[in-house]
Amino acid sequence: MFNFARNRNMALFAGPGEKLVLLTGDAKALFVWRKFISMDNQDGVSCAVFRNEGAGVSSELIKAADEIAWNRWPGARLYTYVDGRRVKSRNPGYCFLMAGWRRCGMTKSGLIIMEIFPDRIEGL
């Protein structure tokens, strides 16, 4: 049996901080929000993991995850990093763009930084 108390760091799959893990009922999509102190001075709540293996349209899943995040962290900036070298798309981050996100910069290592604020979504 796995001893979580003894192996606490081994049980962290999304890193330290406050986390919210979302999984579709069919387990085909995973979304992880993480609120932590960023080493590159990003402020807000980070999308630490997003993976869709056929649970629906990715941009719609992202929009739903955004709403859940804003229910937990009202008014928070949501952000993520996209590694264009590891994404098969010719337009890295496209599903986030279709969900209303925008590109807002690059990290020193070449990751695309994307963000969204609740006031950019109609009705919120």
pTM score, two decimals? Answer: 0.85
Q: How is the chain split into domains, by residue range?
A: 17-120
- Domain 17-120 sits in which CATH superfamily? Gcn5-related N-acetyltransferase (GNAT) (3.40.630.30)
Quote the CA–CA distance of 62 and 86 in Å, as a whole number.
19
The amino acid at residue 80 is T
Quote the CA–CA distance of 53 and 44 in Å, as a whole number.
27
| Residue corresponding to tokens 């929009």 | 63
Give pLDDT tens digits for 17-57. Answer: 899 999 999 999 999 999 998 888 899 999 999 999 999 99
- Which element (helix H / strand E) includes 33? strand 29-35
Give pLDDT tens digits for 50-59. Answer: 999 999 999 9
